[in-house]
Structures are given as structure tokens and as C-alpha cells.
């Protein structure tokens, strides 16, 4: 039943049991967040966070839901995805230029 579904704290839409979902570490594990607080998100919301911000940026400046919501690209995404049904899924475009992860 959708009324019992948890709400995604990023987009405020219900997360039905049968849709892709994932736990987001508010501080990335590699930046000291192992064992720290996590939030359950729609998978599409989680992917957008990581397509937008590096792990260093997440750890340094975007370690709360309110801070994530305030990021301009994420705010635009949230406004867009809120108009979609809770089971909506799509590919996420990927990192913005200048936010590409360096390969070792």
C-alpha cells in the first residue's frame, strides 16, 4: 500500500516497495562516513546526487538533506522529478563537465 511507503527525503515522493531504492551515506564511506547516518532514497535520486557532486563535495558541504536540496542542479532535478509518479525511473545523464571523476 502506497500510504505505508517511506518517503524519499530528497524529493518527498513515496518509495514503493517494488521500485529501485538505495541507501545514501550522508558522508561518503570513503570520506569517514562508514557507520554514519544513511537515508533511503529512490535510486534515481541517489544517482542524481552522485552525478552532480564528488565524494569530497558531499563530505565537505553537502552532508545533509537540506544542503543537498539547496544545490542548484539538485533543486532543478527535484522540481522536475516531483512531477513524476513514485515508480518513475530513468537514466541519469551523468556527471557535469568539470565534475568527472579521475581514473587511476
Please enumerate in sequence order all residues whose Cβ is within 8 A of that of 70, keeping only pairs 6 or more positions apart, or say none. none
Quote the CA–CA distance of 98 and 11 in Å, as a whole number.
25
Quote the CA–CA distance of 53 and 67 in Å, as a whole number.
12
- What is the model's pLDDT at position 1? 43
Regarding pTM above 0.85, the answer is no
- What is the model's pLDDT at position 50? 94
- What is the model's pLDDT at position 66? 98
Chunk the chain into consecutive blocks of 10 residues (it has 104) and report each block's average pLDDT, rounded to whole numbers: 82 94 92 90 96 95 97 97 90 56 38
- What is the model's pLDDT at position 89? 82
- What is the model's pLDDT at position 103? 34
Quote the CA–CA distance of 10 and 77 in Å, as a whole number.
10
Amino acid at each position: 500500500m502506497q500510504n505505508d511507503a517511506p518517503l524519499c527525503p530528497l524529493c518527498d515522493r513515496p518509495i514503493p516497495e517494488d521500485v529501485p531504492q538505495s541507501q545514501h551515506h550522508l558522508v561518503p564511506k570513503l570520506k569517514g562516513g562508514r557507520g554514519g547516518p544513511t537515508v533511503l532514497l529512490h535510486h534515481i535520486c541517489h544517482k542524481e546526487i552522485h552525478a552532480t557532486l564528488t565524494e569530497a563535495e558531499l563530505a565537505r558541504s553537502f552532508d545533509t538533506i537540506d544542503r543537498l536540496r539547496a544545490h542548484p542542479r539538485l533543486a532543478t532535478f527535484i522540481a522536475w522529478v516531483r512531477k513524476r509518479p513514485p515508480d518513475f525511473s530513468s537514466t541519469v545523464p551523468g556527471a557535469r563537465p568539470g565534475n568527472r571523476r579521475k581514473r587511476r
